[in-house]
Amino acid sequence: MIRTAFRTDDVPVADRFDYWRELVGRTRASEMSSAHAADFRAELWLMELGPVTVWPTSVLPTRYRLSPRMARRTDSGSYHLTLLLDGGLALELGGRTDTFGPHDLHMVDDSQPFDLRPADDGAARAVKGVGVDFPKALLPLPPHRVRTVLGRGLSGREGAGALLSGFLTGLEQQAAVLQPRDAPRLGTVVLELVAAWLAQALDAEEALPPETRQQALLRRITAFIRQNLHDPELTPGTVAAAHHISVSHLHRLFEQQPHGYTVAAWIRRQRLEHARHDLADPALRTTPLHAVAARWGITRGSDFSRAFRAAYGLSPREYRARALLERQRTGPATVR
């Protein structure tokens, strides 16, 4: 599922740019040029998630141009999305030019000519990003609506764009431990988040299938909960209000999930998991137990002790002592 596809250190200097051109051409057809071709440097990882391909890259400034003739000849029926993480790009598509900076998202259709070039072609600083390729047929939005956002720079810092950006960068960070059996499910999640991001950009969530809308809403809700665990006022009521839905709707969303938790139980479980991690951290060994609990929104020490023992079979104090002793004996592995 996941493999390192290219490092310039593994290729003779004279062959690097030609190899890069051949490698990228397997996924995205374009004419490529670079002011750094003579001493080219790049890294690319391919993550094959069913029909979805995710490829984090770090590459010296390079220009990618899809001519009208090449677009007619090489149309593969795919959309290509890019999350820019570092550097600057300019994209000319359909007679307009947009510029992109870090945490911007944009998408192109390989049947339409485009010219994607670095904002500073002479800079020796790598442009970093994450590419996503997937069949158009898998996106549950009308093609004529999608065309209106092609080539536009859209923010990956807020809303559904932030969820998509966070998931893509998280895939890169966890690539070493992901298993082949995870690939189809992860590909489905990527497609759901792309659909939700585009629907938000188009203000067209009503065009999404109900299941996709529900999953996108649930991902926004769980991300909101994780970001606000420190708030003791975080309750099903405040979560529902923040997402403009009723508490009963929120409960129905969670009832449909395989984990089997109610909203309140899921919040409590997340708080306890974070507190458990802190208790096993040698850097926090002198932090009082009540402070660890309060850090994750649990204000009553007795409630923390009771819930922790029910979840893990030990009191917080006992768990900390055992976890720190285990770390001294075996290294940084976490006691379970």
Summarised one tens digit per residue, pLDDT across range 196-221 is: 899 888 876 566 677 777 777 888 78
Specify the residue for token string 């999608």.
146
Contact 319, 308 (CB under 8 A): yes
What would the mean pLDDT of 303-327 be, rounded to a whole number?
A: 93
**Do strands 63-66 and 42-49 pair parallel, antiparallel, or not at all (unpaired)?**
unpaired
Q: At what angle do helices 210-227 and 247-255 cross, to 10 degrees?
A: 100
Residue 101: count of CB within 10 angstroms of its CB: 12
Q: Give the model's pLDDT for residue 204.
A: 60
Instruction: Give the pLDDT of residue 121.
Output: 65
Residue ranges of the chain assigned to CATH 1.10.10.60 = 236-330
Q: Return d(Cα 295, Cα 288) in angstroms, integer.
A: 11
At residue 3 the predicted structure's pLDDT band, cuts being 50, 70 and 90, is low
When pLDDT is averaged across residues 86-92 and rounded to a whole number, the result is 91
Burial class of 102 by CB neighbour count within 10 A (0 to 12, 13 to 18, 19+): middle
Predicted confidence (pLDDT) per residue in 27-63, tens digit: 777 889 999 999 999 998 888 898 999 999 999 999 9
pLDDT score at 10: 86
Instruction: Report residue 333's pLDDT band, with 50, 70 and 90 as the boundaries.
Output: very low
Burial of 264 (0-12, 13-18, 19+ CB in 10 A): middle
**Minimum mean pLDDT among 31-45, 253-267, 287-301: which range?**
253-267
Report the predicted TM-score, pTM, of the whole model to 2 decimal places: 0.63
Query: Average pLDDT, whole number, for the chain?
Result: 87
CATH 2.60.120.10 residue window(s) in the chain: 2-181
Say whether pLDDT at 270 is over 50. yes
Range in 32-41, 69-78, 88-97 the model is least confident about: 69-78
Look at domain 236-330 and name its CATH class: mainly alpha
Q: What's CA 28's distance to the chain center, in Å?
A: 21
302 torsion bin: left (phi>0), alpha (psi -120 to 50), beta (else):
alpha
Position 94 pLDDT exceeds 90: no
Q: Which of the four pLDDT bands, split at 50, 70 and 90, describes residue 175?
A: confident
Confidence band of 79 (pLDDT split at 50, 70, 90): very high
Band (pLDDT 50/70/90 cuts) for residue 24 is confident
Provide the β-strand partners of residue 130.
56, 83
Mean pLDDT throughout 242-263? 86
- Burial label for 162, CB within 10 Å (0-12, 13-18, 19+), is middle
In CATH, the number for domain 2-181 is 2.60.120.10
**Spatial distance between the Cα atoms of 50 and 178, rounded to a whole number of angstroms:** 14
Going by their DSSP bridges, the two strands 89-93 and 114-118 should be labelled as antiparallel
Other C-beta atoms closer than 10 Å to the C-beta of 41 total 17
Q: What is the SS3 assignment for 91? A: strand
- The pLDDT value recorded for residue 84 is 95
CA dihedral 99, 110, 197, 42 (to 10 degrees): -60
